[in-house]
């Protein structure tokens, strides 16, 4: 059955009332967005002849998504975080603020307030004794290669099971999360363990939809960064370790060629000793270029709900 009702006065009038256009008060921006949103939902129902059965399946899907706390997991899976990045890149270009290390998505697993130290941090709690040791190191510079001292490198990553502390309550507090302030040469170094890629909960709402799309819910092994310094654009980024099966097939679309980094096994004793180690390890080097700006609103991370953000340390 194909019926067309969208252009009728009845439906147009309904949409206006749904969005509260005929009422004083409320928020104009929200009204505008809800009007457009519901228009587009109605239009999809019309164009694709969505049946009541399909519609109510979608409604109860959204219910379950919320109950499972997976809305911020589905969003990157549907390319929304990537799309926001595409827009931010385009805005930077328009404002003449392109360049430096590329951004990529934050993801939903940041926790604010990780311990902070100067130049070096040990990120793992030592509980995974057989994990491969990772030395993560690099230099933060401006676009001309000038070292930036006192930049804050906020790093977080998953453990060997692809799980993140705080969300995985079996891990210790702030395990695999640290803030490192760069030294006078702009350098930072972390000792940690090689992470595994994240996978969506197999029985969760996100994976349920991905299954219907014929898609997997996996990310490659990766490491997240916020890098900030007054006078420079805040950078949200990640590196993906080369050689992972999902390096170029990330369900969250966060991979960028410039952010694929080799993980190099180091067998050399002297180099291990230089990092206080007595066995081979894997070295990951990531140098970061920040872009200057005097716009203060670009110097800190954008607002969104984050675990422990705004809470006393």
Residues making contact with ligand BEZ (CB under 6 A): 73, 76, 107-109, 198, 219, 252
The yes or no reply on residue 76 touching Fe ion (CB under 5 A) is no
In 119-272, DSSP assigns E strands to 120-122, 133-141, 152-157, 177-181, 187-193, 222-228, 235-241, 260-261, 263-266
108 is an interface residue for Fe ion by CB under 5 A: no
Q: Which is nearer to ligand BEZ, 85 or 142 (CB)?
A: 85
Give me the least distance between CB of 85 and ligand BEZ, in Å please: 12
**Nearest residue to ligand BEZ, using CB?**
107
Task: Pick between residue 104 and residue 182 the one whose CB is nearest to ligand BEZ.
Answer: 104
Measured from the CB atom, is 182 or 206 closer to ligand BEZ? 206
Closest Cα partner for 106 from 200, 217, 248, 238? 238
Binding region for Fe ion (CB under 5 A) out of 41-49, 101-109, 145-153, 274-282: 101-109
Q: Report the SS3 class of residue 174.
A: coil
Q: How far is the CB of 29 from Fe ion (least distance, A)?
A: 31
Two tokens, residue 62: 């959204």
We find the least distance from the C-beta atom of residue 134 to ligand BEZ, in angstroms, to be 17
Residue nearest to Fe ion (CB): 107
> What is the closest distance, in whole angstroms, from the C-beta atom of residue 56 to ligand BEZ in the complex?
27
Q: Which two tokens stand for residue 93?
A: 């270009």
**CB-based contact 301:112 (threshold 8 Å):** no
**Which listed range, 18-26, 90-98, 99-107, 126-134, lies at the site for Fe ion (CB under 5 A)?**
99-107
CA dist., res. 51 & res. 54, Å (int): 5
- Is 107 an interacting residue with respect to Fe ion (CB under 5 A)? yes
Which is closer to ligand BEZ, CB of 108 or CB of 186? 108
If you search the block for the tokens 């230089």, which residue do you land on? 274
Contacted entry of ligand BEZ, Fe ion, none for residue 76, CB cut-off 5 to 8 Å set by kind? ligand BEZ
Q: Measured from the CB atom, is 210 or 272 closer to ligand BEZ?
A: 210
Cβ pair 111, 259 in contact under 8 A? no
Task: Name the binder of 252 from Fe ion, ligand BEZ, none, CB < 5-8 A by kind.
Answer: ligand BEZ
| Interacting partner of 73 out of Fe ion, ligand BEZ, none (Cβ under 5 to 8 A depending on kind) | ligand BEZ
Question: At its nearest, how many Å lie between Fe ion and the CB of residue 222?
Answer: 6
| d(C-alpha 174, C-alpha 156), whole Å | 9
Cβ closest to Fe ion, residue 77 vs residue 107? 107
> In angstroms, what is the minimal distance from the CB of 95 to Fe ion?
28
| 8 Å CB contact between 206 and 73 | yes
The minimum distance between CB 102 and Fe ion, in angstroms, equals: 17
> Closest distance between ligand BEZ and the C-beta of residue 167, in Å?
10
Report the distance separating Cα 219 and Cα 277, nearest Å.
30
CA 55 – CA 209 distance, rounded (Å): 15
Q: How far is CA 187 from CA 3, 38, 121, 139, in A?
A: 64, 50, 12, 4
CB 181, CB 151: distance < 8 Å = yes
Alpha-helical (H) ranges within 229-288 are 269-274
Residues in contact with Fe ion by CB under 5 A are 107
């Amino acid at each position: 059955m194909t019926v067309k009702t969208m252009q009728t006065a009845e439906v147009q009038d309904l949409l206006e009332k749904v969005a509260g256009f005929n009422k004083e008060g409320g928020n104009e921006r929200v009204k505008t967005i809800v009007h457009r949103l519901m228009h587009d939902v109605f239009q999809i129902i019309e164009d694709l002849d969505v049946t009541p059965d399909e519609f109510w399946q979608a409604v109860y899907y959204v219910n379950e998504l919320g109950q499972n706390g997976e809305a911020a997991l589905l969003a990157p899976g549907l390319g929304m975080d990537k799309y926001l990045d595409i827009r931010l890149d385009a805005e930077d270009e328009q404002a003449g603020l392109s360049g430096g290390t590329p951004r990529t998505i934050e993801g939903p697993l940041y926790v604010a307030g990780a311990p902070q130290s100067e130049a070096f941090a040990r990120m793992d709690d030592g509980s995974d004794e057989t994990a491969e040791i990772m030395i993560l190191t690099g230099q933060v510079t401006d676009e001309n290669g000038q070292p930036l001292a006192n930049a804050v490198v906020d790093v977080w990553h998953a453990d060997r099971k692809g799980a993140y502390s705080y969300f995985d309550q079996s891990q210790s507090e702030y395990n695999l999360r640290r803030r490192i302030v760069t030294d006078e040469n702009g350098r930072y170094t972390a000792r940690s363990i090689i992470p595994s890629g994240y996978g969506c909960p197999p029985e969760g709402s996100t994976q349920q939809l991905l299954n219907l799309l014929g898609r997997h819910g996996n990310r490659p092994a990766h490491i997240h960064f916020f890098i900030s310094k007054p006078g420079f654009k805040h950078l949200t980024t990640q590196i993906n370790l080369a050689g992972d099966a999902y390096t170029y097939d990330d369900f969250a679309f966060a991979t960028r060629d410039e952010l694929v980094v080799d993980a190099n096994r180091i067998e050399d004793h002297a180099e291990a000793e230089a990092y206080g180690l007595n066995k081979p390890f894997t070295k990951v080097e990531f140098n970061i270029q920040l872009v200057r700006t005097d716009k203060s609103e670009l110097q800190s991370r954008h607002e969104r709900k984050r675990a422990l953000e705004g809470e006393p340390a």
